[in-house]
Amino acid sequence: MDSLRNIPGGVVVATVIGVIDAVIVWGVATLFDVSIQVPDGPGSQTLTNLTIPPIIFIVAAPSIAAGILLWLLQRFIPNRALRVFQVVAIFFLVLSFGLPFRLDQRLEGQLSLVAMHILVGAVIIATMTWVATKPVEASEAGDEESRAID
């Protein structure tokens, strides 16, 4: 599993688990005849019922964005990258809660979308934290110690 503890591997893990979580919420909502509606596209006022293919894209986009953000932070502020990433990610997760309530649909659909946001956001934040806290291997630790001595 350590081979997945890099940013691209973390993005894949976050996307797969996030899609599974979102599809479970969508499936339970569908089972109870709850219609989850989302805009046809960015900026569109027309709502359409959510289906599985858009779920994949909707989960993959923030997973990729989180991976890019973490990569950039690790390059430019390596000592604080994880903490800054977590703060920014939680900020955007909280900010995303308002979006479902701005849609003109029933409360059940809005709450289902909020549940998806919470689950997917938690998966992305946890997975990227897991990636960023990869333990240093013995050979790397020796290299770091020798660099510190020099």
- Please count the structural domains in the chain: 1
pLDDT confidence of residue 136: 55
Task: Kindly report the average pLDDT of the chain as a whole number.
Answer: 87
Residue 150 banded pLDDT, cuts 50, 70, 90:
very low
pLDDT confidence of residue 146: 45
- Residue 17 pLDDT: 96
Q: What is the CA radius of gyration of the chain?
A: 19
pTM for this prediction: 0.83
pLDDT of residue 148: 47
Taking the CA atoms of residue 54, residue 119, residue 91 and residue 6 in that order, the dihedral angle to the nearest 10 degrees is: -80
Contact 109, 35 (CB under 8 A): yes
**pLDDT tens digits for range 83-105:** 999 999 999 999 998 889 888 89
Residue 12 has pLDDT above 80, yes or no: yes
**DSSP code at position 3:** G
Q: 34 is in which domain, residue-wise?
A: 2-149
Is there a contact between 70 and 85 (Cβ–Cβ < 8 Å)?
yes
